[in-house]
């Protein structure tokens, strides 16, 4: 009977350790939030997120939220080396990644480009 109690205690410790390992494995390596990238036009951007490389994904990810024509919102992943993403990342870093100042970057992106003509 002593032997079976010891085996039972060992089994419980093993199961508890296994469950703890599963609980701590929250991120799956190699799974990025953005498996595909969308083409985006700069207008109507309402929010953005910049995710730095991490153990689960080895590249920077940029996710935009924008208003569609029917006034619903959509989230789009854009290529981190594209023009819009590069500008957003630069702005994000220049404001020291402060969430409260995100609108500064969004306002820059929503402004129409100024055309210069030399006559």
What is the overall mean pLDDT for the chain?
A: 80
Model pLDDT for residues 41-60, shown as the tens digit of each residue? 667 889 999 999 988 888 89
Residue 42's pLDDT is what? 64
Q: Report whether pLDDT(96) > 70.
A: yes
**What would the 3-class secondary structure string for the chain be?**
CHHHHHHHHHHHHHHHHHHHHHHHCCCCCCCCCCCCCCCCCCCCEEEEEEECCECCECCCEEEEEEECCCCCEEEEEECCCCHHHHHHHHHHHHCCCCHHHHHHHHHHHHCCCCCCCCC
């Amino acid at each position: 009977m002593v032997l079976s109690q010891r085996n039972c205690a060992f089994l419980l410790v093993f199961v508890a350790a296994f469950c703890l390992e599963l609980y701590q494995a929250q991120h799956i390596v190699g799974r990025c939030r953005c498996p595909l990238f969308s083409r985006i036009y700069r207008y109507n951007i309402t929010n953005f997120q910049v995710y730095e490389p991490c153990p689960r994904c080895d590249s920077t990810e940029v996710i935009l939220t924008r208003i569609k024509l029917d006034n619903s919102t959509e989230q789009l992943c854009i290529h981190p080396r594209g023009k819009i993403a590069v500008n957003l990342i630069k702005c994000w870093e220049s404001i020291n990644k402060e969430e409260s100042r995100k609108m500064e970057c969004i306002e820059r992106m929503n402004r129409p480009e100024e055309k210069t003509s030399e006559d």
